[in-house]
Amino acid sequence: MSPPHALATADLHSRPLFRASAAEARAALLRLPAVRDARVEISFPDARARIALSEREAAGRWVVGSLEWFVDPDGVLFPSDDATAAPSLRVRDLRAPARSSGERVDAALVAAALRLAKVAPGELRADATAPAVRVEPGADGIVLSSGAGWDIRFGTPERIEEKLALALRFLREQPGRRLEYVDVRSAERIVFSPQ
């Protein structure tokens, strides 16, 4: 966040010193979704204000409808003035038509989906040339699309590493099998189609 934006949000510049409130300025800054924490000090009699901000760090990008939000590890969605400030990891959330700045997505879901977004082309098997992650409503939950017409359904974020290992083992053993989906929603068993 730029210093002029922080100053404008804190609204200290135009206020008379006797009406300035560090607590109100801090509260205004904390309403900005990109701000994790803020400290505001007003010094007398020189009438100076010092603002220290702690901004959220983007873990990836959360795409909802036509909007792409940054998302931090706590699941907070926020915009940024710098489009390059987030890793290129993307997750498309199909559960709602829109989300708003400052909204929280389940942190475990964010961690699991971003873990799957790190899967590189060809890592699953040779035909998986454009892996992409989406979160669907319902039982399928987190889905990793291969880019080759087949998907891996992970369901909930629990035990994501075990589920991914199960899927990778199956795909290594079946490098040429025609697939529509591989279902590892249960880390104990695998279901796939066509059989």
Q: Which domains are present in the chain?
A: 3-55 (no CATH), 60-193 (3.40.50)
Question: What are the pLDDT digits (tens) for 153-171?
Answer: 999 999 999 999 999 999 9
Residue-wise pLDDT for 25-79, tens only, equals 899 898 888 888 999 988 877 777 888 998 899 999 999 999 999 999 999 999 8
- The band of 1, judged by pLDDT with boundaries at 50, 70 and 90, is low
In terms of DSSP bridges, do strands 151-155 and 181-183 run parallel, antiparallel, or are they unpaired?
A: parallel
Comparing 77-91, 103-117, 130-144, which segment has the lowest mean pLDDT?
77-91
Distance of CA 169 to the CA centre of its chain: 27
Show the 3-state SS of the chain. CCHHHHHHHHCCCCCCHHHCCHHHHHHHHHCCCCEEEEEEEEECCCCEEEEEEEECCCCEEEEECCEEEEECCCCEEECCCCCCCCCCCEEEECCCCCCCCCCECCHHHHHHHHHHHCCCCCCCCCCCCCCEEEECCCCCEEEEECCCCCEEEEECCCCHHHHHHHHHHHHHHCCCCCCCEEECCCCCCCEEECC
Quick check: 194 and 180 in contact, CB under 8 A?
yes
Q: What is the pLDDT of residue 125?
A: 94
**76-85, 91-100, 106-115: least confidently modelled range:** 76-85
- The mean pLDDT of the chain is 91
- Paired residues of 143 in beta bridges: 134, 153
Look at residue 195 in the predicted model and tell me its pLDDT: 82
Is the model's pLDDT at 111 over the cut of 80?
yes
Residue keyed to tokens 């079946």: 174
For residue 76, give the nearest of 53, 51, 55, 52 by alpha carbon: 55
Q: Residue 132: is its pLDDT beyond 80? A: yes
Residue 17 has pLDDT above 70, yes or no: no
Would you tell me how many other CB atoms lie within 10 Å of the CB of residue 15?
Answer: 15
Long-range contacts of 144-147 (CB under 8 A, 24+ apart): 144/116, 144/119, 147/121
Lowest-pLDDT range of 8-22, 65-79, 133-147: 8-22
Q: What is the pLDDT of residue 55?
A: 87
Mean pLDDT, range 103-113, rounded to an integer = 97
Its pTM surpasses 0.85: no
Q: Work out the percent of the chain whose per-residue pLDDT is above 90.
A: 68
Please state the length of the chain: 195
Copy the structure tokens of residue 166. Answer: 């199960």
Task: Please compute the mean of the pLDDT values over residues 68-91 and round it to a whole number.
Answer: 92
Question: What does the pLDDT read at residue 22?
Answer: 86
